[in-house]
Amino acid sequence: MSYTNISDNRYVVLGVAFDWGQRKGLDIFVELSHRLPKESYRIVLVGTDDNIDGLLPKDILSIHRTQNQHQLAELYTLADVFLIPTREENYPTVNLESLACGTPVVTFRTGGSPEMLDDKTGIVVDANDIEATEKAIKDICEKKRCNDEEYIVAYSKKFDMKKRFAEYIELYANVLEE
């Protein structure tokens, strides 16, 4: 399945989770669906199910869980902004997936999510601040803030798992030698 026509010439605000609810900020997406102009923005949520579908306004596009990495990468790539309004997160992989596809991130200042961004890869807002979240989305989409895809992809490479493992091994090897 191809998602290339999802945007309908609108900005795409993407959310990806596998346990949607209050903790993952489902209510924020619902509120944004009432605030963002429907003619200019399309909210797409991935990882939903029939129960979540019943909670969503009709203008939010719900895509049930996908195990296809190519489809997920296509969604990240076509999105204009990735929103993760999580209230509780350690170090979300979805941020890295978005960055690896060149898509900037808007996230709440909670857990490890802000640690993954710099001022060229995304915007961090205070948790539950719907006005700041809406402004950040519009800054990225309309004012083209954080829109250097090449920089974002290059930045994502600093989180390469193999490089991080090698650094940890070197760190602990040095500690053991002391």
pLDDT recorded at residue 169: 83
Contacts of 27 (CB under 8 A, 6+ apart): none
Q: Report the C-alpha gap between 38 and 20 in whole angstroms.
A: 22
Q: Report the C-alpha gap between 173 and 97 in whole angstroms.
A: 30
| Residues 82-98 pLDDT 10s | 999 999 888 899 999 99
pLDDT recorded at residue 2: 64
pLDDT recorded at residue 99: 97
pTM above 0.85, yes or no: yes
Instruction: Say which amino acid occupies 54.
Output: G
Overall CATH class of domain 11-177: alpha beta
User: Mapping DSSP to helix (H, G, I), strand (E, B) and coil, where does residue 132 land?
Assistant: helix
**Can you give the C-alpha Rg of the chain in angstroms?**
17
pLDDT recorded at residue 173: 80
What are the residue boundaries of the structural domains of the chain, listed by start? 11-177
| Residues 40-59 pLDDT 10s | 999 999 999 999 999 999 99
| Residues 99-158 pLDDT 10s | 999 999 999 999 999 999 999 999 999 999 999 999 999 999 999 999 999 999 999 998
